[in-house]
Copies of this chain bind each other. A is one copy, B any other.
Amino acid sequence: TSQKHRDFVAEPMGEKAVGALAGIGDVLGKRLEDKGFDKAYVVLGQFLILRKDEELFKEWLKDTCGANSKQSGD
């Protein structure tokens, strides 16, 4: 995993912004924020509500902010 991901999981996510998530840079972060997913915990909520199904989550991420397979994989 990337250093960004290691930094993220090293402490409680609390109120971290969505851009703190590995794979989510400025462009994707802005698109997610514009759709209400401004905090990492809201994106976690979406992952849980998709029953932790990675394929569904990647598809949702692609549809929602245009993440490519590497970004959504991260």
Taking the complex as formed, is A5 at the interface, i.e. its CB lies under 8 A from any CB of chain B?
A: no
Interface size class of A (residues with CB under 8 A): 10 to 19
Choose, from A21-29, A37-45, A61-69, the stretch at the interface.
A37-45
Residue of B nearest to A45 (CB): B48
Besides the contacts A45-B47, A45-B48, A49-B49, what 14 more A-B pairs have beta carbons closer than 8 Å? A39-B51, A41-B48, A41-B52, A42-B48, A42-B49, A42-B51, A44-B45, A44-B48, A45-B45, A45-B46, A45-B49, A45-B50, A46-B49, A48-B48
Provide 6 A-B residue pairs closer than 8 Å at the C-beta atoms, listed in order of the A residue: A42-B49, A44-B48, A45-B45, A45-B49, A45-B50, A46-B49
